[in-house]
Structures are given as structure tokens and as C-alpha cells.
Amino acid sequence: MGLKIYLDGKLVEKDEAKISVFDHGLLYGDGVFEGIRAYHGRVFRLREHLQRLFNSAKAISLDCAISVDQMEDIVLKTLRANKLKDAYIRLVVTRGIGDLGLDPRKCPKPTIFCITDKIKLYPEEFYQDGLTIVTASTRKNIPEAVSPRIKSLNYLNNILAKIEATLQNAPEAIMLTKDGYVAECTGDNVFILKDNVLKTPPTYLGALEGVTQRVVMELAAKNGILCREEVFTRYDLFTADECFLTGTAAEVVPVARIDGRLISNGQPGKTTLKLIAEFRKLTLSEGVEI
């Protein structure tokens, strides 16, 4: 028996998990999604992820047609079907099947699917030695065009920046706003530490409000580390005492070099290592039981 996928009310084999070519998620990127993690038999921050999913859906006038509790059951049911206790979960809601036009009213029913599988975004040495990343020339979409708080299926802006990173053999790329401020990376939020103050860009600049980002801010507060959302530039990246990225798949990963400049001495800093340890400790005990 292979991997089971939840698709519109049924658990189907991976090879049978198919959607229509008329689905507006495929045709236009019209839909929303969440990436979620399960650790040691518990789904970490599941309610926060589901709330962000439903908020994103509401922002684009997409009716998920089921409740948050029912969506939670889908996630847990899919994990159980695949006998997974440590997993990455991809939960997707598309506008559904329509015609070849843009009008969402022509899509009477959303498509919902859930994939649960293993994932390891970065090898362990990156957490020990830090990432070498670059700044992309591709700028973030302006918030007035597409709100960064909507986690939509249209990721082309991020993909273009990811292509730039790949062409430079870098695992990630910093994305700037149209005015040159640091927004986020292609798939992660970014933090810097300077003079014992931890800073992350505010969401209004063009960054997704990250679940892991918020967890790290909570952990910083509990450990007496001053943390705030603040605007900063590439100069602040280059001159930071420490830098790290956060994301559901990446968790908390240090950055050692950006655009050829070493961050401090080029080694993960003590605050970063402390937060990595605290985050991993939290995942051992917190979450919705599978």
C-alpha cells in the first residue's frame, strides 16, 4: 500500500489523487494552502495554521465549505492513514472546478486535498554551520496588489527569486520591498540580532506572518530576549551580530553569509543556537495528538 492522499472526502492512492484541468487552483493559482509539521505523534501549532488558512480563504472570498474542526479532522485522518508520527503536511483549498474564465462564481465547490509525507528541507550541517544566501533582484509584490498575509497558491513572485538563488547555488534568497527594505526570503521569515535586540520585518512591508516566526518571538520573550518587528535594510543584514531564518519546513536555521559578507564571524551565534534548542524542545511536547 502506498501513500494515501485526502481528496474531496476520500482517501485515495497517490497515483489516483487527480484534480480537473478546469480547477482554478491549477488554471490561475486561485486558492490557499498551509504547510504544517507533525513531531512525535503531535501536530505542531495546528490551530494556528488552520486559522491562517481560513483567514487567507476569507480574504479572497473563498468558502472552504467545512468548519475548522472538520479541516482538523482531515489532517489527522490523513496522518493516521499513512501511519505517520513525524511528517510534513500540505493542506490545500482551491477555488474548484470552473470554466476558462476568471469569474470565481463559476466555481460552485472548492477542491480540498491533504498530503502527508516526510520532509527534510536542509541537511543537519546547515544548522551547525549556517546558510550562505543571496539577495534576489526580484522584488516582493507590493502589499496593495496582493496582501502578503494571504498564503495563496500563486507563488510565482517567490519562485522567480528562488530561481535566482538556484542559479547562484544558494539554498535561499532574501527578497526586498520595492523601496529596498528586507521583507522575507522565498520560503522563510528572516531575523537579525543587533546589540542584543532581535528584529524581524513587519508583515505590512510584504512578508507572510509566519507561524514559526511567532513561536520564535514567544520563545525569545520567555528567555528574556528583546524582540520586535522593525524595518531594516541589507546594510543591517550585513552588519548584524546574528541572522537566522524561520519556517515550518526549515524550522530555525542560522545564516552565516549573505551576498559574500560574513555575518559576524561566520558562525551561528549563541542566541540563534539557544532558540534552535528551545524550538526543538517545544516540538517534543506541544501539539494536537494524532
In a domain, 266, yes or no: yes
Q: Which of 133, 224, 227 is nearest to 186 (CA)?
A: 133
Q: What is the DSSP letter of 140?
A: P
Same domain, 238 and 211: yes
- The answer to whether 281 and 219 have CB atoms below 8 angstroms apart is no
32: left (phi > 0), else alpha (psi -120 to 50), else beta?
A: beta
Same domain, 60 and 165: no
**pTM listed for this prediction:** 0.95
Report the distance separating Cα 168 and Cα 160, nearest Å.
13
- The answer to whether 165 and 134 have CB atoms below 8 angstroms apart is yes
Average pLDDT over residues 188-197: 98
Report the distance separating Cα 53 and Cα 93, nearest Å.
9
pLDDT in tens, 5-27: 999 999 999 999 999 999 999 99
pLDDT in tens, 258-285: 999 999 999 999 999 999 999 999 999 9
Same domain, 137 and 260: yes
Give the cell for residue 90. 500540505
Same domain, 144 and 59: no
Same domain, 208 and 80: no
- The answer to whether 237 and 192 have CB atoms below 8 angstroms apart is yes
Report the distance separating Cα 139 and Cα 146, nearest Å.
13
In a domain, 89, yes or no: yes
Same domain, 90 and 171: no
> What is the pLDDT confidence band of residue 129, given thresholds at 50, 70 and 90?
very high
Structural domain of residue 16, as residue ranges?
4-117
Domain final residue, candidates 117, 139, 163: 117
Pairing of the two strands 197-200 and 226-229: parallel
Report the CATH number that the domain containing residue 250 is assigned in CATH.
3.20.10.10
* CA angle, 191 then 53 then 144, to 5°: 65
**Total structural domains in the chain?**
2
pLDDT in tens, 141-180: 999 999 999 999 999 999 999 999 999 999 999 999 999 9
- The answer to whether 141 and 158 have CB atoms below 8 angstroms apart is no
Q: Active site includes 151?
A: yes
How remote is the C-alpha of 185 from its chain's centroid? 10
Report the distance separating Cα 227 and Cα 254, nearest Å.
17
Same domain, 144 and 268: yes
**pLDDT > 90? residue 210:** yes
Question: What local confidence, expressed as pLDDT, does residue 1 receive?
Answer: 64
In a domain, 151, yes or no: yes
Report the CATH number that the domain containing residue 28 is assigned in CATH.
3.30.470.10
Indicate which residue of 14, 83, 109, 151 is catalytic.
Answer: 151
- Decide: helix, strand or coil at residue 158: helix
Q: Of 45-49, 141-145, 181-185, 272-276, which range is least confident?
A: 141-145
Same domain, 153 and 260: yes
Domain final residue, candidates 66, 97, 117: 117
Give the cell for residue 66. 467545512
